[in-house]
Amino acid sequence: MRLVEAVAEVDDVGAFVEQVGAIADEFAVTVQVFDARYVVSRRHLERAVELADRAIDRGENVARDRAVEILCYAAGRRQIDQALTLGVDVGRTPVVVLVDAADEDADEAAAASALIDCLESAETLGDYDETLVREYFEITETELAATAGSLEDVVLERVALLDVEK
**Domain residue limits, the chain:** 2-164
Query: pTM of the entire structure?
Result: 0.93
pLDDT in tens, 52-74: 999 999 999 999 999 999 999 99
Q: List, for the chain, all residue ranges whose pLDDT scores fall below the cut of 70.
A: 163-166
Q: Please, which residues have CB within 8 angstroms of residue 95's CB and are 6 or more apart in sequence?
A: 4, 5, 6, 7, 8, 33, 34, 35, 36, 88, 119, 124
- Coil, helix or strand at residue 91: strand
Q: 2-164: which CATH architecture?
A: 2-Layer Sandwich (3.30)
Q: Helices in 28-150 by DSSP H: which ranges?
A: 42-58, 66-75, 80-83, 108-118, 130-136, 141-146
Give the relative orientation of helices 42-58 and 66-75 as an angle to the nearest 10 degrees.
120
Percent of the chain scored above 90 by pLDDT? 84
Q: What confidence score (pLDDT) does residue 147 get?
A: 80
* C-alpha to C-alpha distance for 78 and 42, rounded to whole angstroms: 21
Q: What confidence score (pLDDT) does residue 164 get?
A: 53
